[in-house]
Amino acid sequence: MNESYPSEQAIGIEYYVSETTGVGGRMRAQPDDFAVTEIEKFDTEPAGADAGAYPYLIIRAQLYNRETNEFVQALSSRLGISRKRIDWAGTKDKRAVSTQLFSIKGIDPEAITEVELGRSVEIDIVGRAGRALEFGDLAGNQFTITVSDPERPENAKEITDELETFGDETVGVPNYFGQQRFGSMRPITHEVGLSILRGDWEDAVRTYVAEPAETEPEKTQQIRQTAGSHLAASELQQALDVLPNRLDYERTLVHALIEGKSHKEAIETLPWNLQRLFVHAVQSYIFNQILSRRLEEGISFVEPVPGDVVCFADRSAPEGVVIPDMDRTQTVSEARVETVSRHCKRQRAFITAPLVGTETDLGSGKIGEIERDVLEAFDIDTRSFALPDDWASEGTRRAIFLPVEPEITQDPLQFSFALPKGSYATVVMREYLKTPPVELG
């Protein structure tokens, strides 16, 4: 196996599973080089249905180079409503062309047709529903990705063959959490989370404000180092003065300390979705490390061994996407290995690894040994996730193998494939490009 880039190793992605030199090039040179369309499982009534029984208007928006939260803020402002009345199933990155559903409570179709959001947005009215959209309504995403300036486009075929060997006749990759989970330009959310798990809230603040990343501009790295020196000396106003307005969350934390809040209270002033990401990023980091250890040990990702925990495929998944169902799991015994292997071969079952939390049952045998070794390396265990207030996490599991059926065309080099929700197109594309993560967008 080829080793990954240092910035990938920093988030637990240690290896490539294909040996062939990558095609090179880069993704997202233009926003329309990365097109993503949601695959939903959400039923609607006609737009003219009774608004009393179906108070949620469902729209489909195509966003060009606009991040989901940014669009929602603009839409709520134009409609003159609270953004809390707008819901969606999955958040999309900015540098892309993304197509997704939104539900809006208490709005008539005429209000949408009259709203002006510029040429970067196209909106279609889908219908009405009796409830808001939520994360569970997202089944997956369909991607069409164009690679700019590839150096060896002809290598895509050989890489696909190697990924098919890895998946035992099914093309696939390890179902790693991608760079975006940890911060694309500055992957430190898991480090903040580890400090929180250890009860060191002061270090959590220091890490978020002052820990530089090599992928940041040198000036920004210097700013963080200077701010960190002031924080260490309890010179809070000087730390705030150093931080530019563009580092708004960092300034929010220091402001809170100046106001006399504790370090825990300072962290709690950040947006709730960011707070949740800290602990979730730790779970993702541990998961990535477990997968890398499994690769090191040469243990198959598609043929279970005794002690593995498998889940079964969601029977209600829409056509074209296979979704692992974490509500239906089973520990593989010695006697059941062969039978479960057949299910895995047909994508009726998937080997899983834990997203560790207080309710996690670690595996047994060699698999359990790997999971415990990874936790011990971070000096935490399942009890570490029994955090105060809403920080606690019971944990869940996640499939370790990501099957993919890529359609690849040349001139331009383009990849089309569907993935289940929660999986990352970049962990597929990294095997093909083998470029630094920053080139994956």
Exactly one of 32, 33, 50, 93 is catalytic; which is it?
93
Relative to beta strand 97-105, strand 34-40 is parallel
Give domain status of residue 351, yes or no: yes
Give domain status of residue 210, yes or no: yes
pLDDT for position 254: 97
pLDDT for position 69: 86
* Same-domain status, 91 and 154: no
* Same-domain status, 26 and 144: yes
pLDDT for position 183: 84
Mean pLDDT along residues 423-428? 96
The two tokens of residue 315 are 């029977």
pLDDT for position 38: 94
Between the CA of residue 300 and those of 147, 163, 427, what are the distances in Å? Answer: 30, 13, 18
Give domain status of residue 356, yes or no: yes
Contact at 8 Å (CB) between 263 and 195?
no
d(CA 215, CA 183) in angstroms, rounded, equals: 11
Three-state secondary-structure class, residue 125:
strand
* Same-domain status, 100 and 231: no
pLDDT for position 63: 95
* Same-domain status, 225 and 254: yes
* Same-domain status, 199 and 52: no
The two tokens of residue 312 are 């079964």
* DSSP labels, 142-167: EEEEEEES-S-GGGHHHHHHHHHHHT
pLDDT for position 290: 97
pLDDT for position 388: 83
pTM for this model (two decimals): 0.91
Q: Residue 77: which residues within 8 A CB-CB, separation 6 or more?
A: none
pLDDT at position 358 over 90 = yes
* Same-domain status, 395 and 426: no
Measured distance between the N- and C-terminal CA atoms of the chain, rounded to whole angstroms: 24
* Same-domain status, 208 and 302: no
Q: What percent of the chain has pLDDT over 90?
A: 82
pLDDT digits (tens, 9 = 90+) for 25-35: 999 999 999 99
* Same-domain status, 331 and 243: no
pLDDT digits (tens, 9 = 90+) for 170-207: 999 999 999 889 987 889 999 999 999 999 999 999 99
CATH (domain of 379):
3.30.2350.20
At position 416, the amino acid (one-letter code) is: S
* Same-domain status, 408 and 395: no
Closest Cα partner for 249 from 218, 281, 275?
275
Mean pLDDT along residues 383-394? 89
pLDDT at position 150 over 80 = yes
* Same-domain status, 362 and 242: no
pLDDT for position 115: 84
CATH (domain of 241):
1.10.1510.30
d(CA 279, CA 189) in angstroms, rounded, equals: 8
CATH (domain of 124):
3.30.70.3160
Residue 258 structural domain: 189-270
pLDDT confidence bin for 123, thresholds 50/70/90: very high
pLDDT digits (tens, 9 = 90+) for 264-319: 999 999 988 789 899 999 999 999 999 999 999 999 999 999 999 999 999 888 87
d(CA 151, CA 439) in angstroms, rounded, equals: 14
pLDDT at position 255 over 90 = yes
* DSSP labels, 302-368: SS--TT-EEEEE-TTPPTT---EEEEEEEEPPGGGHHHHHHHHHTTSEEEEEEE--TT-----HHHH
Mean pLDDT along residues 384-412? 93
* Same-domain status, 199 and 342: no
pLDDT at position 113 over 80 = yes
Active site annotation includes 93: yes
d(CA 402, CA 313) in angstroms, rounded, equals: 13
Q: Total structural domains in the chain?
A: 4
Give domain status of residue 312, yes or no: yes
Query: Up-side HSE of residue 371: CA atoms within 13 Å toward CB?
Result: 23
* Same-domain status, 27 and 147: yes
- Burial status of residue 247 (CB atoms within 10 A of its CB: 0-12, 13-18, 19 or more): middle
- Domain-terminating residue out of 270, 302, 326: 270
DSSP state of 45: B
Contact at 8 Å (CB) between 433 and 147?
yes
Contact at 8 Å (CB) between 78 and 116?
yes
Give domain status of residue 194, yes or no: yes
**C-alpha 43: how far from chain center:** 26
For 58, phi and psi rounded to 5 degrees? Answer: -105, 125
Task: Please compute Rg for the chain using Cα positions.
Answer: 23
Average pLDDT value for the chain: 93
pLDDT digits (tens, 9 = 90+) for 55-83: 999 999 999 999 888 899 999 999 999 98
The two tokens of residue 76 are 């709520």
Give domain status of residue 184, yes or no: no
Relative to beta strand 97-105, strand 324-331 is unpaired
Give domain status of residue 199, yes or no: yes
pLDDT for position 302: 96
- Domain-terminating residue out of 270, 287, 320: 270
Q: Using a CB cutoff of 8 Å and minimum separation of 24, what contacts does 390-394 make?
A: 390/276, 391/196, 391/275, 391/279, 392/357, 392/358, 393/279, 393/280, 393/283, 393/357, 393/358, 394/357, 394/358, 394/359, 394/360
Of residues 114 and 230, which shows the higher confidence score? 230
Give domain status of residue 181, yes or no: no
Relative to beta strand 396-399, strand 26-27 is unpaired
